[in-house]
């Protein structure tokens, strides 16, 4: 069957399903469910995020619990993935490390990709003229430098100052625990990711709105007296949700990877707060690999599996939201 005939048949079948009362989102869900690889990826990602959210209840031990009499042990019934050099349970450390990745990735995507990216992209695409020029030129300045390098400079420069400010706040107010819980490190890392991670989403939304705002339904809304805010929120952004979902799914994986790299370099989340990146750095030395390679297998396997799942989910969402690509 020719490609044009296949696209025509796909379009007709979609129209027939819509006539039977099924919404576009229901059709998208049905197409996604039929993709076994994407559903498997979704299950893996959901398990990872649920494991991180419920880490205090899921982890068999506290990430701080030490037993110096049982250091560097292999897998056993009591410690399924063994213990590290301080006798801490590796499975518990991995679960709490997943919590760090979950907090940072969700906060970075919500504040940077979704809030800043969608807001600035919609503003640039709809307003045009000098507003568009200013926002896009600022974005191009950010894109002129390696994104990860900017995040590293941001974290390395501001983290000591921010930690000192938080300590002063704790001493003056008597409200303690922010430094100990790792909240200060979380804030620095996801703020850096948000500040330098909005450009891609902004350019995507801007391009979509530049094409959509010339459509007849937008002109009809303007003629009916709709405000600019209503036009953007009710008419334009809902028509850009498909590519936004794909970018968000990939952005979560990218934020997790950036947090891992920052912690691996020693300028991200600091001990004793667990991080998968810090574990990989600590256990990736030559002597550790020669004597206790099983300790690195756990965090490396989790990271590789999550990244692979995000890639599969992104491909599945792209196909499900764009049926003509099937």
Asked if residue 103 belongs to a domain, the reply is yes
CATH value at residue 159: 1.10.3720.10
Short-list 281, 282, 268, CA closest to 182: 268
Q: What is the pLDDT of residue 282?
A: 83
Give the tens place of pLDDT for each residue, 126-168.
988 899 999 999 999 888 877 778 888 888 888 888 888 878 8
Asked if residue 215 belongs to a domain, the reply is yes
Asked if residue 127 belongs to a domain, the reply is yes
Q: What is the pLDDT of residue 201?
A: 92
Instruction: Output 199 or 171, whichever has higher pLDDT.
Output: 199
Asked if residue 20 belongs to a domain, the reply is no
The domain of 248 spans: 39-65+79-325
Segment 300-310 shows an average pLDDT of 92
Give the tens place of pLDDT for each residue, 22-33.
666 677 778 778
Asked if residue 204 belongs to a domain, the reply is yes
Cα dihedral angle (23, 25, 29, 35), rounded to 10 degrees? 110
Q: What is the pLDDT of residue 163?
A: 80
- Looking at the 3D structure of the chain, how many domains does it have? 1
Asked if residue 21 belongs to a domain, the reply is no
Burial environment of residue 110 by CB neighbours within 10 A (0 to 12, 13 to 18, 19 or more): middle
Give the tens place of pLDDT for each residue, 247-299.
888 888 888 988 888 888 888 888 888 899 888 888 877 777 788 888 888 89
Q: How confident is the model at residue 323 (pLDDT cuts 50, 70, 90)?
A: low
Asked if residue 222 belongs to a domain, the reply is yes
Give the tens place of pLDDT for each residue, 70-97.
888 888 888 898 898 889 999 999 999 9
H/E stretch holding 72: none
What's the full length of the chain, in residues?
326
Q: What is the pLDDT of residue 4?
A: 45
């Amino acid at each position: 069957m020719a490609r044009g005939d296949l696209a025509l048949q796909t379009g007709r079948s979609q129209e027939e399903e819509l006539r039977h009362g099924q919404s576009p989102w229901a059709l998208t869900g049905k197409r996604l469910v039929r993709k076994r690889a994407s559903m498997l990826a979704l299950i893996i990602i959901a398990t990872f995020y649920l494991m991180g959210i419920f880490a205090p209840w899921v982890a068999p031990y506290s990430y701080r619990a030490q037993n110096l009499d049982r250091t560097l042990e292999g897998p056993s019934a009591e410690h399924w993935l063994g213990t590290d050099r301080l006798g801490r349970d590796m499975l518990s450390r991995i679960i709490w490390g997943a919590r760090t990745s979950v907090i940072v990735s969700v906060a970075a995507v919500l504040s940077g990709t979704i809030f800043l990216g969608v807001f600035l992209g919609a503003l640039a695409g709809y307003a045009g003229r000098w507003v568009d020029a200013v926002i896009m030129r600022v974005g191009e300045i950010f894109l002129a430098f390696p994104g990860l390098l900017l995040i590293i400079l941001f974290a390395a420069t501001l983290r000591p100052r921010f930690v000192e400010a938080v300590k002063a706040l704790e001493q003056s107010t008597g409200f303690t625990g922010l430094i100990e819980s790792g909240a200060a490190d979380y804030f620095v890392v996801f703020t850096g990711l948000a500040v330098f991670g909005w450009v891609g989403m902004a350019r995507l939304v801007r391009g979509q709105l530049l094409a959509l705002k010339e459509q007849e339904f937008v002109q009809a809304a303007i003629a009916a007296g709709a405000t600019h805010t209503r036009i953007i929120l009710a008419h334009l952004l809902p028509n850009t949700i498909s590519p936004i979902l794909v970018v968000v799914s990939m952005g979560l994986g990218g934020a997790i990877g950036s947090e891992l790299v920052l912690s691996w370099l020693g300028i991200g989340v600091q001990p004793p707060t667990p991080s998968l990146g810090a574990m990989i750095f600590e256990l990736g030395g030559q002597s550790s690999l020669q004597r206790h390679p099983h300790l690195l297998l756990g965090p490396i396997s989790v990271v590789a599996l999550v990244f692979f799942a995000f890639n599969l989910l992104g491909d599945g969402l792209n196909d499900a939201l764009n049926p003509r690509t099937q």
